[in-house]
Amino acid sequence: MLSPSLSKIFYTKPSIGEREAELVADATQNGWGDACYDYIHKFENAFKSHLNVKYAIATSSCTGALHMGLAALDIGKDDEVILADINWIASAAPITYLGASPVLVDILEDSWCIDPKKAEEAITPKTKAIIAVHLYGNLCAMNVLLALGKKYNIPVIEDSAEAIGSIYHGKHAGSMGTFGTFSFHGTKTITTGEGGMFVTNDDALYEKVLTLSNHGRSKSQTKQFWPDMIGFKYKMSNIQAAMGCAQMERINELIAKRGTILAWYKEALQDLPIAMNPEPENCQNGAWMSTMVVDASVRFDRNQLLQEFKNNNIDGRVFFWPLSMISAELNSEHSPKEFTLRKPNPMAYSLYERAINLPSYHDITKEDIERVVKCVKKILA
């Protein structure tokens, strides 16, 4: 039974202060007419400077950014795109929008990200891209994946929706592949409420996505309301971008706190039979969502822990389900025929029931974490 005296511990929530309110108010009052893109451009410039990339395009969502990027690579009907089986549907859905098929492969046990060996085994003449999703801030094995991309002449795309602050051998997540995408949903390390970003170092790809993002109107087009191709409407609003600008002023602080939260959990849970977000040598985990995976040899009931959280006024959040499991149940014209599973993915199917996301947000206190840890220890005792 829920104790009425316990304050709510959310699994995640944004950190919004006076500066965010100030810039949003300015955009609301003054960001119209000739100034309607001012904060958008400021946000794009701040973000690409942070990542050290040439180009950034602010979008209404990470899903939209991924959709446009795939479209700009001319991925279409009967093509295949490889990604890990453990992911949120947002990483796979844009592939189906273009008539292509997501090919789902297994994950690595330590990073919970795509297994490069399984990705290579899945490559066929129809393969047009590999999507490397940096899950919960954990980094994919980018050196191996980029080598695969070069070997087979296949673009490697970084879905970095959850990896703001993650750094791989000196390079930011999202800056290494053909293009990268980010999410600024209200749960993320920095937020614009909803929103995303497309980033790339490829001149031609940037120009094509920029055109696609504006209903197919090229920036060089002189005729008013004259599209050069059929495009999309995935723009971020100036008001959202104003909040993003304020968040970028605090980005190092926001990233650092996520790392501190993960360190608190690791210290408090170090004696338990679990693994948490890894941080390999020469890498920094952005630690968007502190996550624990219970050892396979230990008896663990995820629902029991979720109920214990609920009894203590703590939000719980399950690990992502295997997409192949979801696709088999979807009532949609896109599924299951467009989701491809050529081989069983035993690691993906072993992991999801043993894993759970722990409350991870900027303003969580050490005392809050101690309450979460107490619940975990009770269930694993």
pLDDT digits (tens, 9 = 90+) for 25-58: 999 999 999 999 999 999 999 999 999 999 999 9
C-alpha 205/C-alpha 179 separation (Å) is 9
Domain holding 166: CATH number?
3.40.640.10
pLDDT in tens, the chain (381 residues): 666 678 999 999 999 999 999 999 999 999 999 999 999 999 999 999 999 999 999 999 999 999 999 999 999 999 999 999 999 999 999 999 999 999 999 999 999 999 999 999 999 999 999 999 999 999 999 999 999 999 999 999 999 999 999 999 999 999 999 999 999 999 999 999 999 999 999 999 999 999 999 998 888 888 888 888 899 999 999 999 999 999 999 999 999 999 999 999 999 999 999 999 999 999 999 999 999 999 999 999 999 999 999 999 999 999 999 999 988 877 666 555 578 888 899 999 999 999 999 999 999 999 999 999 999 999 998
C-alpha 41/C-alpha 203 separation (Å) is 18
Q: Which amino acid belongs to residue 373? A: V
Of 355, 347, 349, nearest to 300 by C-alpha is: 355
Strands 355-357 and 196-200: unpaired
pLDDT value at position 336? Answer: 55
C-alpha 46/C-alpha 34 separation (Å) is 21
Exposed, middle or buried, 219 (CB in 10 Å: 0-12/13-18/19+)? exposed
Q: Which pair of structure tokens corresponds to residue 186?
A: 């209200």
Per DSSP, what are the bridge partners of residue 357? 291, 317
Number of domains in the chain: 1
Helix (H, G, I), strand (E, B) or coil at 275: strand
Q: Which amino acid belongs to residue 215? A: H
Helix and strand tally (H, E) in the chain? Answer: 13, 14
C-alpha 105/C-alpha 322 separation (Å) is 10
Question: What is the layout of strands, in order, in the sheet containing 283-284?
Answer: 171-172, 167-168, 283-284
Cβ atoms within 10 Å, residue 360: 28
C-alpha 249/C-alpha 239 separation (Å) is 16
C-alpha 6/C-alpha 26 separation (Å) is 38
Mark out the alpha helices in 103-202 (DSSP H runs): 116-121, 142-152
pLDDT value at position 63? Answer: 97
pLDDT value at position 3? Answer: 62
Task: Please give the residue range of the domain that contains residue 69.
Answer: 1-381
pTM: 0.95
Q: Which pair of structure tokens corresponds to residue 290?
A: 């502190």
Rama region for 216: left / alpha / beta (φ>0; ψ in -120 to 50; rest): left
Sorted by sequence, the CB contacts under 8 Å of residue 375 that are 6+ apart come out as 305, 308, 309, 312, 314
Distance of alpha carbon 324 from the chain centroid: 19
Sorted by sequence, the CB contacts under 8 Å of residue 51 that are 6+ apart come out as 172, 174, 175, 180, 199
Kindly calculate the radius of gyration of the chain based on its CA atoms and give it in whole angstroms.
Answer: 21
Rama region for 193: left / alpha / beta (φ>0; ψ in -120 to 50; rest): left
Sorted by sequence, the CB contacts under 8 Å of residue 97 that are 6+ apart come out as 67
Of 119, 81, 86, 124, nearest to 103 by C-alpha is: 81
Rama region for 80: left / alpha / beta (φ>0; ψ in -120 to 50; rest): beta
